[in-house]
């Protein structure tokens, strides 16, 4: 271990110390690194909310020509400019607030599947969009059948739509009659929309024979002695709720017969479009109730960004914590919250919705604290800094506990090493100061060379004992012993030189006369040993020579 002592008098061993200039140069870099490591980044959903506000959102009612082109594409018809057939179909009985690109993709996907399960969460508008799509695909209101399901009416629906036995005669239901109509007009599309189809048992609705035949196009069912086949121009769209709340939980057996699942996600563009539509309505009646206050909020882009972000971020948290089916759509009560004081009401909507479903982990007010932090900080995401991300990564991968233990062990080891180092430094400094005091006493002629050498030898023995008992490192001990050895050699050399000088001086003074030649020789001798003996001894010898020479030449 390398020890560092203060230079000069406080560091008699003269071991180099770390430069403070280097620390000052590295300090700005250290501060900048800490700032960047601990600074949070903008929340991606906050940035996305701002982008959505700047986009031009197109609803189906705003693009009648594009809607007509889609209608012609679905039915393989030539496009005729000015034809409003498609617009009339989706406007009957009313025109809904549906975003164009999502609706277009939904229609194209639905055309590919004769059977399709359309699922969405509360407020997403799955029923509304499916019925609009079905009207467009059927092209004729008479080619469309809507079935609205209610719990506990499974057998009644089977009798009504599939059929029943009466007096040993099978009476076909509305769906079988509808299929006969399909075969009579194979050049047309026929569509059935079964809303809330997860409220009843699909197997009970179709009956065991027909339900089993739906598993493969090659299978057929026999009802009332008549073979029943699904028409090739028939489409069946079952609308179900995504997530908890369904009486029948859809599985692969259902999807095998009812078609693949098409999920309609919450659409923030439709939420924005609804807000803009409300602003237009309130602008026409600004004096009613609190329309002025609401209109001001709807014209505040910063305010809308805050609530649009909350809609996106809350759904993201709900999806990751509870599942896709726990989210809220743009048509739920969240759309009524956009004023400055509506934040608590928005949280209440989420709390009531989630906790009414009785999840294993209830939603609490504290779960919204990251969202509130982003609003307060102007869009920054809590815990998005470099340090927090690394901790989260280690926590997710399971290495955090191990690294924490290793780090704690390393820290304790470092502290123990520092304590040992400081203790050894204090020992070296204490013994170094003692050795320096002995040498200083010899230089000032406070003690003799013999006494100084004996004291240094005592210090050396004590240091040897510390090294043997491992209270002082071997390397530090070597440094210190070398230092004592150097001082002892200086003392010994100074004593020898002093004795030589005194012998020469006494030899010249045997006749009690110091000649000029002897004076010059003594001066030269002193000059040669000046830097090898203590300054006090040199001055004593010089004065001794000057006095002896002056006493005979006055």
Residue 40 in domain:
no
* Cα distances (Å, whole numbers) of residue 117 to 161, 235, 238: 19, 11, 5
Which tokens sit at 275? Answer: 């807000």
47-104 residue pLDDT tens: 999 999 999 889 999 999 999 999 999 999 999 988 999 999 999 888 888 999 999 9
Question: Which of 245, 266, 287 represents a domain boundary (last residue)?
Answer: 266
Q: Give the residues across from 193 on adjacent strands.
A: 146, 237
Residues 422 and 461 in one domain: yes
What does residue 132 show for φ and ψ, rounded to 5 degrees? Answer: -65, -45
User: What is the length of the chain?
Assistant: 554
Q: Are residues 437 and 455 in the same domain?
A: yes
SS3 221: strand
Q: Per the structure block, which two tokens stand in for 126?
A: 């799955």
The predicted structure's pLDDT at residue 8 = 42
Q: 14 lies in a domain? A: no
Supply the pLDDT for residue 5.
37
Query: Domain count of the chain?
Result: 3
pLDDT tens-digit series, residues 382-397: 887 666 566 666 667 7
Tokens for 415? 């502290």
211/305 same-domain check: no
> Does some domain include residue 43?
no
Q: Tell me the C-alpha to C-alpha distance, in Å, between residue 541 and each of 200, 345, 356.
A: 122, 100, 105
Q: Tell me: do 138 and 226 sit in the same domain.
A: yes
Q: What is the pLDDT of residue 373?
A: 93
DSSP string, 136-154: HHH-SGGGEEEEE--TT-H
Shared domain check, 532 and 429: yes
Do 330 and 293 belong together in one domain?
Answer: yes
Residue 534 resides in a domain: yes
Give residue 3's pLDDT. Answer: 39
Q: Of the candidates 249, 266, 283, which is a domain's last residue?
A: 266
Strands 115-120 and 260-264: parallel
3-state secondary structure of 216: coil
Which residues fall within 8 angstroms of residue 87, CB to CB, at 6 or more apart? 61, 64, 67, 68
| Nearest CA-CA partner of 87 in 112, 52, 61 | 61
Place of tokens 């972000």: 309
350 token code pair: 């989420």
One domain, residues 192 and 138: yes
Tokens representing 269?
A: 């563009």
Tell me how far apart the alpha carbons of residues 402 and 424 are, in angstroms, rounded to a whole number.
Answer: 33
Burial 517-540 (b: 16+ CB within 10 A, else e): ebbeebeebbeebeeebbeebbee
SS3 for 10-35 is: HCCCCCCCCCHHHHHHHHHHHHHHHH
CATH code of the domain containing 106: 3.40.50.300
Last residue within a domain, chosen from 359, 384, 409: 384
pLDDT of residue 9: 45
Q: What are the φ/ψ torsions at residue 398 (nearest 5 degrees)?
A: 85, 10
pLDDT tens, residue by residue, 304-330: 999 999 999 999 999 999 999 999 999
Mark whether 407 and 380 lie in a shared domain. Answer: no
Structural domain boundaries enclosing 519: 401-554
Q: Are residues 366 and 427 in the same domain?
A: no
Contact (CB, 8 A) for 50 and 305: yes
Mean pLDDT across the chain, nearest whole number?
85
Looking at residue 392, its pLDDT comes to: 64
Q: Token digits for 432?
A: 């170094």
Domain contains 468: yes
List, for the chain, all residue ranges whose pLDDT scores fall below the cut of 50.
1-10, 12-13, 15-17
Cα–Cα distance for residue pair 434/7, rounded to 1 Å: 16
For residue 244, tell me if it sits in a domain: yes
Q: Are residues 410 and 536 in the same domain?
A: yes
> Are 260 and 273 in a shared domain?
no
Which among 130, 133, 259, 255 has a CA at the least distance from the CA of 195? 130
Same domain? For 424 and 549 the reply is yes
Alpha helices in 124-267 (DSSP H): 126-138, 154-161, 174-184, 202-206, 208-213, 252-258
CA distance 10 to 248: 85
For residue 11, being part of any structural domain is answered with no
Q: Determine the pLDDT at residue 532.
A: 73
Q: Is residue 55 one of the residues assigned to a domain? A: no
Contact 381, 327 (CB under 8 A): no
Please, which residues bridge with residue 149 across strands? none
Contacts of 229 (CB under 8 A, 6+ apart): 179, 220
């Amino acid at each position: 271990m390398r020890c560092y002592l203060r230079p000069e008098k406080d560091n008699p061993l003269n071991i180099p110390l770390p430069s403070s200039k280097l620390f000052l140069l590295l300090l700005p870099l250290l501060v900048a690194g800490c700032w960047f490591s601990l600074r949070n980044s903008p929340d991606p959903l906050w940035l996305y909310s701002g982008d959505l506000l700047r986009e031009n959102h197109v609803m189906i009612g705003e693009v009648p020509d594009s809607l007509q082109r889609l209608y012609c594409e679905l039915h393989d018809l030539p496009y005729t400019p000015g034809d409003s057939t498609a617009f009339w179909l989706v406007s009957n009985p009313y025109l809904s607030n549906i975003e164009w690109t999502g609706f277009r993709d939904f229609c194209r996907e639905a055309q590919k599947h004769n059977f399709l399960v359309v699922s969405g969460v509360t407020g997403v508008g799955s029923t509304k969009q499916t019925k609009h799509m079905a009207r467009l695909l059927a092209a004729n209101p008479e080619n469309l059948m809507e079935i609205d399901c209610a719990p506990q009416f499974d057998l009644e629906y089977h009798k009504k739509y599939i059929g029943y036995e009466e007096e040993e005669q099978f009476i076909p239901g509305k769906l079988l009659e509808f299929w006969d109509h399909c075969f009579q007009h194979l050049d047309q599309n026929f569509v059935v929309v079964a809303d809330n189809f997860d409220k009843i048992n699909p197997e009970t609705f179709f009956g065991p024979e027909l339900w089993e035949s739906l598993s493969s196009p090659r299978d057929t069912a026999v009802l009332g002695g008549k073979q029943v086949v699904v028409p090739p121009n028939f489409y069946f769209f079952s609308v179900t709720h995504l997530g908890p709340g369904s009486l029948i939980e859809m599985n692969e057996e259902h999807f095998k017969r009812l078609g693949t699942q098409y999920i309609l996600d919450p659409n923030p563009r439709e939420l924005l479009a609804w807000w803009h539509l409300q602003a237009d309505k309130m602008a026409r009646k600004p004096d009613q109730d609190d329309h002025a206050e609401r209109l001001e909020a709807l014209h505040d882009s910063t305010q809308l960004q805050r609530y649009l972000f909350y809609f996106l971020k809350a759904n993201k948290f709900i999806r990751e914590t509870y599942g896709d089916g726990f989210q809220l759509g743009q048509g739920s009560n969240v759309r009524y919250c956009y004023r400055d004081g509506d934040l608590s009401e928005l949280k209440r909507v989420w709390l009531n919705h989630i906790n009414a479903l009785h999840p294993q982990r209830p939603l609490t007010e504290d779960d919204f604290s990251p969202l509130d932090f982003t609003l307060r900080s102007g869009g920054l995401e809590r815990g998005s800094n470099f340090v927090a991300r690394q901790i989260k990564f280690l926590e997710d991968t399971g290495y955090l506990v191990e690294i924490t233990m290793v780090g704690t062990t390393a820290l304790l080891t470092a502290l123990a090493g520092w304590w040992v180092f400081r203790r050894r430094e204090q020992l070296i400094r204490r013994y170094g100061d003692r050795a320096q005091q002995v040498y200083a006493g010899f230089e000032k002629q406070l003690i003799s060379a013999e006494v100084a050498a004996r004291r240094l030898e005592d210090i050396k023995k004590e240091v040897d004992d510390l090294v043997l008992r491992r209270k002082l490192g071997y390397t530090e001990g070597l440094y210190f012993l070398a230092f004592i050895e150097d001082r002892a050699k200086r003392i010994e050399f100074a004593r020898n030189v002093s004795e030589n000088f005194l012998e020469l001086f006494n030899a010249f003074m045997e006749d009690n006369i110091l000649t000029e030649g002897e004076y010059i020789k003594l001066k030269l001798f002193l000059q040669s040993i000046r830097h090898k003996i203590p300054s006090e001894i040199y001055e004593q010898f010089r004065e001794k020579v000057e006095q002896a020479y002056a006493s005979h030449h006055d």
